[in-house]
Structure 1
Amino acid sequence: MRRNVWLLAIVLIAVLLGANNTVYYFTTKQSLEENLRHELQSIAKQIEISIELSRQGSEKFQEQIGRELRAVSIAAQYALDPDVEKVTKEQLTELSMKLDVLHITLLKRTIDNIVLYKSSDPKQIGFKTNTWDPWYQAFNELFDTHNVTIDWGQSLENFWTGPFEFAQTETSKIRKWGYYYDGSTNYIIDPYISYEDRQMEYDKQTGVGMIIAKTLLENSQLLEITGINPSTFPLGEQTTVTQRGDKLAHMTQQPIVYGSYLYKHADDQKLVQKAIQSNQSITVNTTINNKHVLKLYIPVSVDKSTSMLDENGEPINRYVLTLVADYKTIQNSLDKQFSNIALIMLVVTVLSLVIVYLIASSYRRAQDKLVRRTQETYVEEINGLFRAIREQRHDFMNHVQTIHALAELNKTDELKSYTSELTGEIRQLNDIINIGNPAIAALIRSKISQAESLKIKLETSFADMSNLALGIKSLDLTRVLGNLIDNAFDEVMNYPEERRLISIKGSQTNGYMEFEVSNTCDDAGKLDGKPLFESGYSMKGATHSGLGLSIVKSIVDKYKGSVRIVLNEPNKVTFIIRISD
């Protein structure tokens, strides 16, 4: 039965450790995932900064190009006749080559429009600009005030330039145009360059596209980086039809500002708007293109940008940067860490079970040793009691002969003294025998002998102990009394002979058995609140195991009894054991 109890305890401990480790495992997993999300957001922030620096650098480079176009315009003005009618194509072609621009076009104002009137490129001639919003507004402001007030593009004295954009005349080509007018001519001078000739090389070296490509190459967990125009993203690609009927894309109004957009989520539009409105990063754990990914939506605030416009041609001051990370890479990292944690938990669990088993085995051996010692003491005490009875019977004839001889010699005083000693010894033995329980009688007989040798005054009083109807084992009973009496012996031996007082009482009435063991104790007041019944606790020093009172408590608890300490007399402590039916 005891083995089953220990086995059950070990199983319960294993279950508790397993439950604890499982909770720890998933808590740690959640913590690691959160840390990796923060790490990914940190990477995203670095990417955001790099992209912004690159984008701002690109726009600064465009501003420098704008200044160059203004200088080209001024140079062309000095070389050309102020009357557009007197300027020839050959002149414009020659100037374009000398000033290192792609072409030069002259814009003339008519009654109801502004047209591309003359150009070194024949494809330009004849295009009307009144549908080129807001470019048409800029042309009119140049003619009227020599100053453009549009809040995007680059405005200089008598000059304005927009961003690189697809050309109306060649919809597959990207150009940047400059427009100059100071009132000294009857036309606007429009030199322009191609993206391939000037900006493309810069972007290859330091542009946003290069930053994205390098970032994806250096971060294996990143699958895609995308810049999204939140204004035009819900509307799709922004296009118009040119005067020639060609479809023209608007580079500055495209939904995808830069990067690719292959990992599309069904809620992208909603999440982009949520990120813009809340100005907070949003992370989604989802599956895209049959791949488990984390997708981050990061709002990025910027100064009004020339290269990003809303659907009405107005510059926007915020866009959304999205990053798609392969969760498999993250999961591999998590699995590696979890494997280490699982191994640690397994080792700790096994070690814990081994330690518990060793402690349990040690405790069980100690208990078994105490039981064996108690059994041996019990047998010795019973044998001692029987030996004392046999000795009295064996010496009976000697006592009778001695009494007879003293009577014949008429030595009355010696006879009285001898019979008094004899009857005292017999009465003491009879009192022990009359306890009624052989086990208790043997224990008391042994303790009386021990007390005599230690010069301890031991008083005993037992009543109605002949019928143990409570189911308590004699062995358990002697273990309880034996430990209490031994504790009393240890305590009174600290005092002079005249103060070595111990009292033992026992009774069985009204369905319960009660024992009292009292002894001298000057430190009785210090016992209050002490864990006297805890295993291993002792106030006697390192030479004592602290198991005696713990054994008493465990046995009494087994029989659903009670143990209490009475400290109501000075310099005296009393332990009261009660076991009921």
Structure 2
Amino acid sequence: MREMQRNIWLMAISVIVVLILLNNTAYYFLTKKTLNDSFNEELLAHAKRLEISLEQSRQGAEQFQDQIGRELRAASIAAQYALDPDIEKVTNEQLKELSDKLGISHITLLKKLPDDIVLYKSSDETQLGKSTKTWKPWYEVFNQLFDRHNVSVDWLGQTLPNFWSGPFEVSSTDLDKVNKWGYYYDGATNYIIDPYVGYDRQEEYEDATGVHRMIENSMQTSESLLEIAFINPETFPDGKQTVHPNGDVQDHKVQQPIFYGKYTIKSEKDTALVRKAYLTKEIVTLNEKIDGKEIYKMFIPVFATDKGINITDEDGIPLDSYVLSLTSDYHIIQEQLDSQFLNLGVIIIILTCLSLLIAVIAMRYYKQSRDKAVRVTQETYVEEINQMFQSIRAQRHDFLNHVQTIHSLAELEKSKELVAYTKELTGDIRLMNDIINIGNPAIAALVRSKISQAENYKIQFSCSFSGLNMQEMGVKTLDVNRMLGNLIDNAFDEVLKFPEERRHVTLIGRQTAHELEFTISNTCEQAEEAVVKPLFDAGFSTKQQDHQGLGLSIVKSIAEQYKGNVYVTAEPNGQLTFIVKIPI
């Protein structure tokens, strides 16, 4: 038995340990997910700041480019007034002098030939004689201007009366330079006036107010960020190039694959992931070892408020979205996570140990309380059994005295006294036999103890039992005695309010093949009112003395533990009856 109890306690402790470990494991992975989500949110915050910065920079840059375009148109009109309307009468030296006075890089004059439009005069002699027939969409623009039409092409640009200016772009005649050109023709001359400026003016503006500074600030404030890149998803990763008839290869600024930031940490999966982020409009991530370093990449689709973002697809069509790439050193991220996980692990271990300690203390306290309750019950049981046996021995011891008394009453012909005496004697014997015949020594002992208590209180306590079987009762004897003890004590307390002649308590117990039933009735003048009160609620008591109000609540909880029930009824003759039924 002791070995079985030890195994039960070990099993209970094992279950508690498993539950604690499962709880801590779930907490660990939940916290890990929270930390990873926090890191991703930090990257997204960087991305949002960069996106806002880019949009502000882009809109400001566009306004600045438009202002440069208007300046180029003004320079064109000024040049028209200063130059002869016939291109043959204009010299390159005049153009040099005029470009210096106007504060622009150069001025070129375009002449229309039957099958071409050429750079005919220029302040930059390297431009002279260059054909524009292969320049798209510039050649189309030149023809529209010569035809006195408003310029309309699917290309980023600024259209004003008799004027068009494209974005900053790599020069077709000097691949090392990026310029912004303006083209003016109002029919007063036989040539298009083409003033242009270098990218240095725009670059100074963007360096002072643009996204470059935001990229630098983001890199400085983050320990893990390695690279930030704004990607053209339509031309990534190689960009758009034009091969001229002379073999020169020209890149295009508005079609560069990376138009802000850097892209040096490369993976073979980048192209597919950039395309996926662009098409699905969802964030895509990559965790991969590149050049021996654990790298974490996030590709974020960004949407512009309009299509004027100075980037185009391979056909020159402006885009309304792009992809922002953030590249981080996952080793640094992992170190941060490991540090937090270590702290979390220490906390989990401490909490686990404390939980186990508390569980062990609680189990020991519960075991001690249970053992104490069992010990008290056993002592009570032994005491009551001894009292019952003592009563039996007393009856046997007094048997001779009873016989002598009966004999004397018979000799004296005291028939009435003899009848009264034998009636008392047989009643006492019958009561003792009824107790012995209960069939369960523990219940019998409890009843015998309550009979003695009733005699002391002058309470008329009658009992009747049938069919009780200790082996087949289906309920622990300890629990039966707890219910009966509380019910009998409750009845005794109630009848003690009345005179001796009205102190009646009746206990009936029976056991059938299907249920165990106990009925206890006691005198109660206000029985009808009592049945509507919450008698079975813990803490409720009708007694005037300081009672805890737990007796009937305990009876109800024990009955429900065995799928049974307890209820109370009011009898017409002023009796209160409690009935306990438990299925077996």
User: Residue 51 of structure 1: CA displacement?
Assistant: 0.6
Q: In structure 2, do the counterparts of structure 1 residues 230 and 438 end up closer, same or farther at CA, with 3 Å as the change threshold?
A: closer
Cα-to-partner distance string for 1:324-353 (whole Å, 9 max, x where unaligned): 344455555555555565555555555554
Is the deviation greater in 350-359 or in 446-455?
350-359
Match for 1:13 among 11, 16, 38? 16
Q: In structure 2, do the counterparts of structure 1 residues 412 and 228 end up closer, same or farther at CA, with 3 Å as the change threshold?
A: closer
- CA distance in structure 2 between the aligned counterparts of 1:143 and 1:268, rounded to whole angstroms: 45
Give the match's secondary structure for 2:219.
helix
1:260 aligned partner: 262
Letter in 2 for 1:181: Y
Matches within 5 A, 1:374-389: 374-389=377-392
User: Residue 114 of structure 1: CA displacement?
Assistant: 1.7
Matches within 5 A, 1:176-215: 176-196=180-200, 198-215=201-218
User: Residue 171 of structure 1: CA displacement?
Assistant: 1.3
Is the deviation greater in 261-270 or in 442-451?
261-270
Letter in 2 for 1:293: Y
Letter in 1 for 2:256: Q
Match for 1:250 among 249, 252, 258? 252
Match for 1:53 among 56, 75, 78? 56
Q: In structure 2, do the counterparts of structure 1 residues 448 and 90 end up closer, same or farther at CA, with 3 Å as the change threshold?
A: same
Give the match's secondary structure for 2:494.
coil
1:241 aligned partner: 243
2:284 aligned partner: 283
Give the match's secondary structure for 1:116.
strand
User: Residue 267 of structure 1: CA displacement?
Assistant: 4.3
1:95 aligned partner: 98
1:318 equivalenced with 2:321 (yes/no): yes
1:300 equivalenced with 2:303 (yes/no): yes
Letter in 1 for 2:577: K
Cα-to-partner distance string for 1:200-221 (whole Å, 9 max, x where unaligned): 2222212333332333223334
- CA distance in structure 2 between the aligned counterparts of 1:285 and 1:537, rounded to whole angstroms: 64
1:364 aligned partner: 367
Cα-to-partner distance string for 1:139-177 (whole Å, 9 max, x where unaligned): 222222174333532222332222222223321122222
Q: In structure 2, do the counterparts of structure 1 residues 353 and 569 end up closer, same or farther at CA, with 3 Å as the change threshold?
A: farther
Q: In structure 2, do the counterparts of structure 1 residues 57 and 356 end up closer, same or farther at CA, with 3 Å as the change threshold?
A: same
Number of aligned residue pairs: give it: 563
Match for 2:160 among 106, 131, 156? 156
Q: In structure 2, do the counterparts of structure 1 residues 340 and 395 end up closer, same or farther at CA, with 3 Å as the change threshold?
A: same
Q: In structure 2, do the counterparts of structure 1 residues 539 and 288 end up closer, same or farther at CA, with 3 Å as the change threshold?
A: farther
Give the match's secondary structure for 2:132.
coil
Letter in 2 for 1:252: V
User: Residue 527 of structure 1: CA displacement?
Assistant: 9.4
Letter in 1 for 2:459: I
Give the match's secondary structure for 1:216.
helix
User: Residue 463 of structure 1: CA displacement?
Assistant: 5.8
1:542 equivalenced with 2:544 (yes/no): no
Q: Determine if contact 1:271/1:297 at 8 Å carries over to the other structure.
A: no
TM-score by length of 2: 0.81
2:85 aligned partner: 82
Q: Determine if contact 2:556/2:566 at 8 Å carries over to the other structure.
A: no
Give the match's secondary structure for 1:185.
coil
- CA distance in structure 2 between the aligned counterparts of 1:99 and 1:49, rounded to whole angstroms: 36
Q: Determine if contact 1:146/1:157 at 8 Å carries over to the other structure.
A: no
Letter in 2 for 1:15: V
Q: In structure 2, do the counterparts of structure 1 residues 186 and 553 end up closer, same or farther at CA, with 3 Å as the change threshold?
A: same
- CA distance in structure 1 between the aligned counterparts of 2:79 and 2:250, rounded to whole angstroms: 30
Letter in 1 for 2:456: S
Q: Determine if contact 1:271/1:282 at 8 Å carries over to the other structure.
A: no
Q: Determine if contact 2:148/2:187 at 8 Å carries over to the other structure.
A: no
Cα-to-partner distance string for 1:55-85 (whole Å, 9 max, x where unaligned): 2212221222222222222333333232222
Letter in 1 for 2:367: R
Q: Determine if contact 1:299/1:321 at 8 Å carries over to the other structure.
A: yes
Q: In structure 2, do the counterparts of structure 1 residues 350 and 519 end up closer, same or farther at CA, with 3 Å as the change threshold?
A: farther
- CA distance in structure 2 between the aligned counterparts of 1:546 and 1:538, rounded to whole angstroms: 9
User: Residue 24 of structure 1: CA displacement?
Assistant: 4.0
Q: Determine if contact 1:451/1:458 at 8 Å carries over to the other structure.
A: yes
User: Residue 44 of structure 1: CA displacement?
Assistant: 1.8
- CA distance in structure 2 between the aligned counterparts of 1:578 and 1:318, rounded to whole angstroms: 75
Q: Determine if contact 2:66/2:158 at 8 Å carries over to the other structure.
A: yes
Letter in 2 for 1:491: A
User: Residue 108 of structure 1: CA displacement?
Assistant: 2.0
TM-score by length of 1: 0.82
Is the deviation greater in 514-523 or in 380-389?
514-523
Letter in 1 for 2:70: R
Is the deviation greater in 513-522 or in 286-295?
513-522
Q: Determine if contact 1:174/1:195 at 8 Å carries over to the other structure.
A: yes
Q: Determine if contact 2:108/2:120 at 8 Å carries over to the other structure.
A: yes
Q: In structure 2, do the counterparts of structure 1 residues 364 and 515 end up closer, same or farther at CA, with 3 Å as the change threshold?
A: farther
Give the match's secondary structure for 2:462.
strand
Q: In structure 2, do the counterparts of structure 1 residues 524 and 353 end up closer, same or farther at CA, with 3 Å as the change threshold?
A: farther
- CA distance in structure 1 between the aligned counterparts of 2:308 and 2:474, rounded to whole angstroms: 95
Matches within 5 A, 1:5-154: 5-34=8-37, 36-145=39-148, 147-150=150-153, 152-154=156-158
User: Residue 48 of structure 1: CA displacement?
Assistant: 1.1
Letter in 2 for 1:134: P
Q: Determine if contact 1:524/1:573 at 8 Å carries over to the other structure.
A: no
- CA distance in structure 1 between the aligned counterparts of 2:134 and 2:418, rounded to whole angstroms: 151
Match for 1:218 among 207, 212, 221? 221
Is the deviation greater in 490-499 or in 113-122?
490-499
Letter in 2 for 1:97: D
- CA distance in structure 2 between the aligned counterparts of 1:405 and 1:146, rounded to whole angstroms: 154
Is the deviation greater in 412-421 or in 374-383?
412-421
Q: Determine if contact 1:492/1:499 at 8 Å carries over to the other structure.
A: no
1:480 aligned partner: 480
Q: Determine if contact 1:224/1:260 at 8 Å carries over to the other structure.
A: yes
1:490 aligned partner: 490
- CA distance in structure 2 between the aligned counterparts of 1:360 and 1:538, rounded to whole angstroms: 30
Cα-to-partner distance string for 1:254-312 (whole Å, 9 max, x where unaligned): 2222222234444444444444444x232224325242414123142353437323323
Q: Determine if contact 2:486/2:551 at 8 Å carries over to the other structure.
A: no
Q: In structure 2, do the counterparts of structure 1 residues 143 and 500 end up closer, same or farther at CA, with 3 Å as the change threshold?
A: same
Letter in 1 for 2:490: D
Q: Determine if contact 2:297/2:325 at 8 Å carries over to the other structure.
A: no
Cα-to-partner distance string for 1:444-475 (whole Å, 9 max, x where unaligned): 3322111111233222335677x9665999xx
Letter in 1 for 2:489: F
- CA distance in structure 2 between the aligned counterparts of 1:427 and 1:148, rounded to whole angstroms: 127
Match for 1:373 among 362, 373, 376? 376
- CA distance in structure 2 between the aligned counterparts of 1:464 and 1:216, rounded to whole angstroms: 89
Q: Percent identity?
A: 48
Q: In structure 2, do the counterparts of structure 1 residues 37 and 414 end up closer, same or farther at CA, with 3 Å as the change threshold?
A: same
Q: In structure 2, do the counterparts of structure 1 residues 285 and 310 end up closer, same or farther at CA, with 3 Å as the change threshold?
A: closer
User: Residue 117 of structure 1: CA displacement?
Assistant: 1.7
Give the match's secondary structure for 2:212.
helix
User: Residue 130 of structure 1: CA displacement?
Assistant: 1.2
Q: In structure 2, do the counterparts of structure 1 residues 272 and 193 end up closer, same or farther at CA, with 3 Å as the change threshold?
A: same
Is the deviation greater in 266-275 or in 393-402?
393-402
Letter in 2 for 1:9: A
Give the match's secondary structure for 2:175.
coil
Q: In structure 2, do the counterparts of structure 1 residues 37 and 578 end up closer, same or farther at CA, with 3 Å as the change threshold?
A: closer
- CA distance in structure 2 between the aligned counterparts of 1:132 and 1:274, rounded to whole angstroms: 33
5+ residue gaps in structure 1? none
